[in-house]
């Protein structure tokens, strides 16, 4: 068996997220099906992490083992022939047998895109959260870096995430920035890892800051150990992009 | 009755073109349905021209008459509330009762977008013709302006367009240019009017020039009076955008 690492982009609108689910169209499922066609046998694809239904990716990383000796570059082309156009393999390369896209990742970068204009272009509407209402963007820009550093992000975890004893919700955020360019408001966050729904919950919370319902100090309170109130609400999936996953050189 | 002029943008992928067709989802049909809900009666929408299934618009112009006295700006908002997000009303204004978006138009501008990169981004694939093969782009750029001026465009008319006695196929092209920017190849054409499939047939013919199957002189031959060979083949619908329709001031 050889092991192959791929980076891929996908438009998540018409998928039920990354992870295989019986009877539903998922990125992992469609990818495994394409690979199994080439392998004539089962292939298990591991991703750097699950993305929710409707979330997009510009640089998701996945890996799988297979017997087929096809050169990686040809495999990339063969996969792009059979995959739906909403999923594209950007790179494919042989990698060490022990490589795991989730456990070996040292950082992930997400972007959340908001469109503030009155009318959302039909060509943008699948890729942004349309928010044509008043926002104190300066306050949001000020508040975003509060999340940087090592914190317990329990308040930003999914409401349905079970507390498994020994599963830490401490994560390190390397950078957390909001930028405005015309009617585009883009939040970019890079961290050691993210809990389920964490980026969308952060975005929803930053929007509360913009609406005047929360201060930067209030945002900081959510990071205090032992506090049990949930942040949020969760922002829409369609504005979220997994941009990049980094590994040690 | 009052008359209202609207400009609109739409993403044509999931529509069977502009024109109402029984049982099919069309731009005109969806728009009329939305208006009829507001008018409580029949509304007939006239467009500047039909766009084919899959063709997009950034600046289509339409007009309709209605009794409802709602201010035009509110009508715009009300329509955008009920229309699918793939159709957006960009402007709405009262206009003279005699205004007709097709007969009063003095020019139309179309763009055809080609993506030449090896891999077509999932976020572009609905809006471009992906052509990752060799093209002599310089030859195409040279040939494009050959179409400028007043010519009989019979060779570029749809194969199924009937020759109706007295219906001239002479059109005036004000500008016809191809521009390259990185992997984007964009053809922009502005003219007095266009025959059915004309821009897509022009684009397909320019691609033949790029592939070395036709010269600029060969392209010119298609414009000669009395020649009966069809140009083409027709390029895919999804790369085509109706950009703008102009009217006398």
Q: Say whether B88 and A10 touch across the interface (CB within 8 A).
A: no
Query: Is A107-246 in the same CATH topology as A2-95?
Result: yes
Res B160: pLDDT: 72
CATH for A2-95? 3.30.70.580
Q: Please indicate if any CB of chain B lies within 8 Å of the CB of A85.
A: yes
Alpha-carbon span A157 to A165, nearest angstrom: 15
Domain residue spans of chain B: 2-95, 107-246
For A11, the closest of B89, B119, B123 (CB atoms) is: B123
Q: Say whether A127 and B123 touch across the interface (CB within 8 A).
A: yes
Q: Say whether B121 and A86 touch across the interface (CB within 8 A).
A: no
Q: Please indicate if any CB of chain A lies within 8 Å of the CB of B11.
A: yes
Shortest distance, CA A12 to any CA of chain B (angstroms): 9
CB B99 within 8 A of CB B5: yes
| DSSP β-bridge partners for residue A112 | A187, A240
pLDDT tens digits for chain A (249 residues)? 999 999 999 999 999 999 999 999 999 999 999 999 999 999 999 999 999 999 999 999 999 999 999 999 999 999 999 999 999 999 999 999 999 999 999 999 999 999 999 999 999 999 999 999 999 999 999 999 999 999 999 999 987 766 666 678 999 999 999 999 999 999 999 999 999 999 999 999 999 999 999 999 999 999 998 777 889 899 999 999 999 999 997
Q: What is the pTM of this model?
A: 0.92
Shortest distance, CA B11 to any CA of chain A (angstroms): 6
State percent of chain A over pLDDT 90: 91
How many other CB atoms are there within 10 angstroms of residue B182's CB atom? Answer: 8
Q: Please indicate if any CB of chain A lies within 8 Å of the CB of B242.
A: no
Res A228: pLDDT: 78
β pairing state of B170-181 and B149-152 = antiparallel
Alpha-carbon span B6 to A14, nearest angstrom: 31
Alpha-carbon span A169 to A195, nearest angstrom: 7
Res A123: pLDDT: 97
The predicted-structure confidence for A37-60, as pLDDT tens digits, reads as follows: 999 999 999 999 999 999 999 999
Alpha-carbon span A185 to A180, nearest angstrom: 5
User: Which residues of chain B have a CB within 8 Å of the CB of A87?
Assistant: 122
Tokens of A130: 């349309």
Alpha-carbon span A26 to A17, nearest angstrom: 5
Q: Please indicate if any CB of chain B lies within 8 Å of the CB of A158.
A: no
Find residues 50-69 of chain A whose CB sits inside 8 Å of chain B: 56
Q: Please indicate if any CB of chain B lies within 8 Å of the CB of A36.
A: no
Query: Token pair 């289509």 is at which residue?
Result: B60
Q: Say whether A122 and B90 touch across the interface (CB within 8 A).
A: no
Residue B52 annotated among the catalytic residues of the structure:
yes
Alpha-carbon span A176 to A191, nearest angstrom: 9
Shortest distance, CA B57 to any CA of chain A (angstroms): 9
Instruction: Single out the residue of A227, A229, A233 nearest to residue A203, CA to CA.
Output: A233
Instruction: Single out the residue of A120, A69, A81 nearest to residue A236, CA to CA.
Output: A120
Range B69-104 burial, b when 16+ CB lie within 10 A, else e? ebebeebbebbbeebbebbbbbebeebeeebebbeb
How many other CB atoms are there within 10 angstroms of residue B209's CB atom? Answer: 24
Res A161: pLDDT: 67
Q: Say whether A125 and B86 touch across the interface (CB within 8 A).
A: yes
Res B226: pLDDT: 78
CB A236 within 8 A of CB A53: no
User: Which residues of chain A have a CB within 8 Å of the CB of B127?
Assistant: 123
- Supply the residues of A annotated as catalytic: 52
Q: Say whether B119 and A11 touch across the interface (CB within 8 A).
A: no
Tokens of B98: 């005699």
Residue B147: C-alpha distances to residues A86, A196, B60, B69 (Å): 36, 56, 23, 46
CB B111 within 8 A of CB B154: no
Instruction: Single out the residue of A13, A10, A113 nearest to residue B121, CA to CA.
Output: A10
* H-run or E-run covering A207: helix A198-210
Shortest distance, CA B226 to any CA of chain A (angstroms): 42
User: Which residues of chain A have a CB within 8 Å of the CB of B92?
Assistant: none
Res A81: pLDDT: 97
Residues in chain A: 249
User: Which residues of chain A have a CB within 8 Å of the CB of B120?
Assistant: 85, 88
Res B163: pLDDT: 63
The predicted-structure confidence for B132-191, as pLDDT tens digits, reads as follows: 999 999 999 999 999 999 999 999 998 776 666 667 899 999 999 999 999 999 999 999
CATH for A107-246? 3.30.70.660
Instruction: Single out the residue of B168, B146, B125, B153 nearest to residue B219, CA to CA.
Output: B146
Res A213: pLDDT: 97
User: Which residues of chain B have a CB within 8 Å of the CB of A56?
Assistant: 122-123
Which of the residues in chain B have pLDDT under 70? 161-166
For testing contact with chain A, the best of B86, B122, B127 (most A CBs within 10 A): B122
């Amino acid at each position: 068996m050889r092991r192959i690492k791929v980076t891929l982009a996908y438009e998540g609108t018409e998928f039920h997220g990354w992870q295989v689910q019986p009877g539903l169209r998922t990125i992992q499922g469609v990818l495994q099906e394409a690979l199994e066609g080439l392998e004539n046998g089962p292939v298990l694809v591991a991703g750097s992490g699950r993305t929710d239904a409707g979330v997009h990716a510009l640089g998701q990383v996945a890996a799988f083992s297979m017997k087929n000796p096809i050169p990686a570059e040809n495999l990339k082309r063969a996969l792009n022939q059979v995959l739906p156009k909403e999923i594209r393999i950007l790179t494919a390369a042989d990698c060490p047998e022990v490589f795991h896209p989730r456990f070996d990742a040292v950082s992930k970068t997400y972007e959340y895109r908001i469109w503030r204009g009155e009318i959302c272009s039909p060509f943008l509407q699948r890729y942004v959260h349309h928010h044509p209402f008043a926002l104190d963007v300066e306050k949001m820009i000020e508040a975003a870096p509060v999340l940087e550093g090592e914190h317990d992000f329990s308040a930003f975890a999914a409401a349905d995430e079970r507390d498994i004893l020994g599963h830490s919700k401490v994560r390190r955020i390397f950078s957390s920035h909001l930028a405005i360019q015309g009617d585009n408001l883009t939040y970019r966050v890079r961290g050691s890892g993210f809990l389920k729904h964490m980026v969308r919950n952060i975005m929803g919370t930053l929007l509360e800051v913009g609406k005047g319902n929360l201060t930067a100090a209030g945002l900081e309170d959510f990071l205090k150990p032992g506090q049990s109130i949930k942040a949020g609400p969760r922002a829409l999936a369609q504005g979220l992009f997994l941009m990049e996953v980094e590994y040690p050189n």
